[in-house]
Amino acid sequence: MKKIVILLMVLSLFACNNDNKTTKTAESKKEKKTVIVPVFNADSAYRYVKKQIDFGPRVPESKAHEQCAEWLVSMLDGFSDTVYVQNFRTRLFDGRGIDGKNIIGVFNPDAKKRIVLAAHWDTRPYADADPDRANWNTPIDGANDGASGVGVLLEIARQLHNRKIDDKIGVDIVLFDLEDYGAPSFSQYNTEDSWCLGSQYWSKYPHKNNYSAYYGILLDMVGVSDPSFPKEYYSQQFAPDISNKVWRVARGMGYDMHFSNELGHPITDDHYYMNKIAGIPTINIIHLEFDSPNGSFYEHWHTLKDDIESIDPKSLDMVGKVVLNVIYNE
């Protein structure tokens, strides 16, 4: 039975024996399990991205934020076994209190071995990297920075609903709020720990008591054309086995040009706190550029041009296929 919870704070072994005249030592063999990975639908993921954009900037405590939250809950309620809505209150960089909402869809809730797939669903209230200073206090659409990762995860949720994963594997899709409300670049405030407020909260107070996961995969800025996904520094520091495995799968699928073995810059993102606070080995699939004037990020990061025009379904398709192949072959 599905429910929405509101929170306030094979191996097959066989023996080969000879006839009754000759006895041989029985040998155990692992039977190769055939895994059918569902087909990721890029058009569906793109529609999920566009739907978020159509609400407008999803700045916490705005009408668009409220409407998008209701839609995300309804979508995960239709796909997952249980949905948790984690309401929380925290403080911004300037000391103001603000309400946030993490949204979690749970698949196979009784499975002990769990995988976290995460993204942030809020958008930045400041276009503080926009070339026009007059736009710096204007909220952004966040098509790539936020909506792209959520769109991929919603399509993965749809596929998990249509083709059940192994009963021994549980998947938790966590959509973090208040990731992008960090101190603006034009302010005098200290930016340390002013980002990723939703993941900081969830990492301290997960949706279930004593929650643990085998590993996590964060998706951030995965929708632009010709993306570059080096191995982000903190991912390699905290979860090298997971990072190497995911990149090995991606490169085995022919995505060598996009999933490079280069070491990327350290990015303080949701995965950082999942590792540091929750102790869950988590990696970040994030578009990074070594020669970017925006501190490793793509051209339209934190500008008004981070809109639906920047989204390429081919990139969503690639990332979605890689993640599906990783989790279904776990």
C-alpha angle 181-235-282 in degrees, rounded to nearest 5: 75
Per-residue pLDDT of the chain (330 residues; tens, 9 = 90+): 444 555 544 333 333 344 443 444 333 444 557 889 999 999 999 999 999 999 999 999 999 999 999 999 999 999 999 999 999 999 999 999 999 999 999 999 999 999 999 999 999 999 999 999 999 999 999 999 999 999 999 999 999 999 999 999 999 999 999 999 999 999 988 777 999 999 999 999 999 999 999 999 999 999 999 999 999 999 999 999 999 999 999 999 999 999 999 999 999 999 999 999 999 999 999 999 987 777 789 899 999 999 999 999 999 999 999 999 999 999
- The string over 150-175, giving b where at least 16 C-beta atoms fall within 10 Å of a residue's C-beta and e elsewhere, is bbbbbbbbbbbbeeebbeebbbbbbb
How many residues does the structure list for the chain? 330
User: Which CATH class name applies to 3-9+39-328?
Assistant: alpha beta
Question: Which amino acid is it at 142?
Answer: G
Helix (H, G, I), strand (E, B) or coil at 276: helix
> Residue 156 has what pLDDT?
98
Report how far Cα 162 is from the mean position of its chain's Cα atoms: 20
Radius of gyration of the chain (CA): 21
For residue 135, count other CB atoms closer than 10 A to its CB: 17
Which residues have C-beta within 8 Å of that of residue 179, sequence separation ≥ 6?
Answer: 120, 122, 146, 195, 196, 197, 198, 199, 269, 270
AA identity, residue 83: V
Look-up of token digits 């529609």? 47
